[in-house]
Structure formats: C-alpha cells, structure tokens
C-alpha cells in the first residue's frame, strides 16, 4: 500500500471513530429528541437518530460513518454539524478528514518550520510580555527572553526543538510545572488531533504521535477520545522553579508563515503573578549578563531565518 493509500485509509478510520465518538457523547434529551420508556442499548444517539436530525437517509449516514467520504455536499455536512452539535474546531476537523479521505494526490509534507528574523525582532521587542511561537506539532520555535524563562523547565531535555506535548506526557516535571496538568494534557492531545487532520502527510507529526502513544498511557487515553480544539485565548497556571506560582492570561494569533502561532502571556496588573514575572525577567537578565548559557545560547531554538 502506497503512502497516499495508507493516509487515506487512516483518514477513513478517523472519520468512523470521530463521528462515533461525537454521536456517543450526545443524549436524546440534549439533541431535542423525545425519550420513551425502556432501556437504550446504544450509548448516546443512534445512527438513525443522527440521520433524522441531519436530514439525510439512514443508509447514507451509515455509509459516511463507515468512512466513505465520497460525494459529501455542503448541505449534508451542515446537517451533520448541526445534528452532532459540533463546535468550530470539530467542524474544521471533520472537513479536513473528509478532504483527506477522497484526496487524489497527497498534500505536501510539512517542511521544517523556520522562524523569520523579523518575527524574532518583534518577539525581542516585547520586554514585559512573555511571547512564544509554536508550530502545529507544538514545537517551540521562537521565544523572547521572558517567554524562554517562563518555559525554563522544558529546556532541561536536550532534545530540540522543545516540544510541549513531549514535555507534558513524558517528563515527570510537567506535573509540578503545570498546576492544572490534566487540563493541559487534554489541551495538548486535542491540538495534536486537530493538526493531524490538517496535515495528514506530516511524517514528523506521525512520529511524535507514535512516540507519545507508545510511551504514555495518559496520551493514549486522550488520543482515543478524538477531541479537537484550536488555539484561542485562556489562562495558564504554572509553578515555576524560580519564582513559584504564576498565572497568566494568553492571547494567540496566527502568523503569516503556515502553521505558526504566536502566544503572548500577560499577568493581571498589580497581582502576585505580575511581581513574579518581573522577578523572572530580572533573573533571566542576570543570567544573560553573567554570561551563563541561558538564555544567550538558545534565544532562537531553531535558528532564525535571515530574511
């Protein structure tokens, strides 16, 4: 079987599992369907109930849930989105899987991302905000000094580029660093699941998922849920080894370079976290000024493109 055929077969399998898990999480009451007496043998909605809600035939929906992605119109997709109450990230993920399942030619494999020099200059201009650039694989490919200091524990592993999912699931220190580790673990697996739908021919992503699946039961459980999400906004809560507890709000924005996402972290004004971030900035500056390896030896983890 060729690489293209393997990816298409994997996409069909993911379509089956994604639709089945979305169907299983909804009850008839949540879907607005009447409930009659007697026990139900199926967890969540039945296939025929989803078909009714989507306005399509039962046979057609069964064929789709078996992974046959041919001929899915926009109206059918809208009906399924409505029936399964998919959020924006889930709708995009289903579309990605459907497109891969019928693709005639493979998409280009994801190239090794490079952080452009102008982006690094923008990062470096942020002196009171921690800033980090991630790829869809959750590789850290760029930071400013404060962002590098905030994520200091991730750099203990000599492997490069630093990868947040690998840190979360494979490094015991992550459970101390992330004060709400379970939420971060859910978040990381969901981001990788969405990226796998977008870039099914990314060999590095496939290798990362294989590594995490082999070495982490926590990842395997979350991966099997088929949950997806996208970067947005929120709060990160960490216990930093230098300054203690820090809570920062973050905002995200996509960069012009495909797959690159800038996250910017700021604390609440006049809060203990703001004081902690100031201390962290001073600590980072002192280490750099003293000529110690951090952060001067690795300000740009993959090397910035000169353009």
Q: Is the pLDDT of residue 81 over 90?
A: yes
Length of the chain: 307
pLDDT, tens digit (0-9, with 9 covering 90-100), for 244-272: 999 999 999 999 998 999 999 999 999 99
Query: Measuring CA to CA, which residue among 128, 151, 122 is closest to residue 267?
Result: 128
* Helix (H/G/I), strand (E/B), else coil: 258: coil
Q: What is the pLDDT of residue 35?
A: 73
Q: What is the pLDDT of residue 300?
A: 43
Q: How far apart are CA 83 and CA 114, in angstroms?
A: 41
Average pLDDT, the chain: 88
Q: Is the pLDDT of residue 296 over 80?
A: no
User: Among positive and negative, which fits the CA dihedral 71, 75, 76, 80?
Assistant: positive
Q: What is the pLDDT of residue 104?
A: 53
Regarding predicted confidence, which is higher, 160 or 175? 175
Same topology between domain 3-102 and domain 115-305: no
Pick the CATH number of 115-305 from 3.30.450.180, 3.40.1360.10, 3.40.50.300, 3.20.20.100: 3.30.450.180
pLDDT, tens digit (0-9, with 9 covering 90-100), for 179-223: 999 999 999 999 999 999 999 989 999 999 999 999 999 999 999
Q: What is the pLDDT of residue 304?
A: 47
Q: What is the pLDDT of residue 6?
A: 86
Q: What is the pLDDT of residue 3?
A: 75
What contacts 58, CB < 8 A, 6 or more positions away? 47, 48, 51
Report the pLDDT averaged over residues 24-43: 80
Q: The domain 3-102: what is its CATH number? A: 1.10.260
* Helix (H/G/I), strand (E/B), else coil: 237: strand
Answer whether 138's CB lies under 8 Å from 197's CB: no
Q: Is the pLDDT of residue 15 over 70?
A: yes
Q: How far apart are CA 104 and CA 239, in angstroms?
A: 48
| Domain-wise residue ranges, the chain | 3-102, 115-305
Structure tokens at 150: 């905030």
Q: How far apart are CA 37 and CA 242, in angstroms?
A: 59
301 — pLDDT class (breaks 50, 70, 90): very low
> Which of 35-39, 105-109, 198-202, 252-256 holds the top average pLDDT?
252-256
Q: In the chain, pLDDT over 70 holds for what percent of residues?
A: 88
Q: How far apart are CA 273 and CA 286, in angstroms?
A: 20
């Amino acid at each position: 079987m060729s690489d293209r055929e393997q990816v298409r077969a994997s996409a069909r399998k993911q379509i089956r599992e994604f639709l089945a898990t979305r169907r299983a999480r909804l009850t008839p009451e949540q879907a607005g369907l009447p409930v009659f007496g007697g026990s139900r043998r199926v967890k969540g909605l039945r296939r025929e109930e989803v078909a009714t809600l989507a306005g399509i035939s039962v046979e057609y929906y069964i064929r789709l849930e078996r992974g046959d992605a041919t001929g899915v119109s926009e109206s059918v997709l809208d009906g399924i989105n409505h029936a399964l109450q998919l959020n924006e990230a889930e709708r995009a993920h289903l579309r990605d899987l459907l497109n891969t399942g019928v693709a005639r030619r493979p998409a280009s494999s994801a190239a090794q991302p490079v952080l452009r020099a102008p982006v690094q200059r923008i990062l470096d201009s942020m002196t009171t905000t921690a800033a980090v650039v991630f790829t869809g694989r959750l590789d850290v490919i760029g930071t400013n000094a404060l962002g590098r200091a905030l994520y200091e524990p991730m750099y203990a592993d000599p492997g490069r580029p630093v990868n947040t999912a690998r840190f979360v699931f494979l490094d015991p220190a992550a459970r101390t660093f992330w004060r709400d580790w379970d939420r971060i673990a859910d978040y990381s697996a969901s981001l990788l699941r969405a990226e796998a739908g977008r870039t099914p021919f990314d060999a590095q992503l496939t290798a990362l998922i294989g590594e995490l699946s082999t070495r982490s039961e926590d990842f395997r459980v979350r991966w099997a849920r088929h949950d997806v999400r996208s970067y947005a906004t929120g709060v990160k809560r960490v216990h930093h080894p230098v300054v203690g507890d820090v809570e920062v709000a973050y905002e995200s924005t996509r960069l012009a370079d495909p797959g690159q996402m800038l996250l910017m972290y700021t604390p609440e004004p006049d809060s203990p976290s703001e004081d902690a971030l100031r201390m962290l900035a001073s600590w980072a500056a002192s280490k750099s000024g003293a000529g110690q390896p951090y952060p001067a030896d690795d300000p740009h983890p993959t090397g910035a493109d000169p353009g």
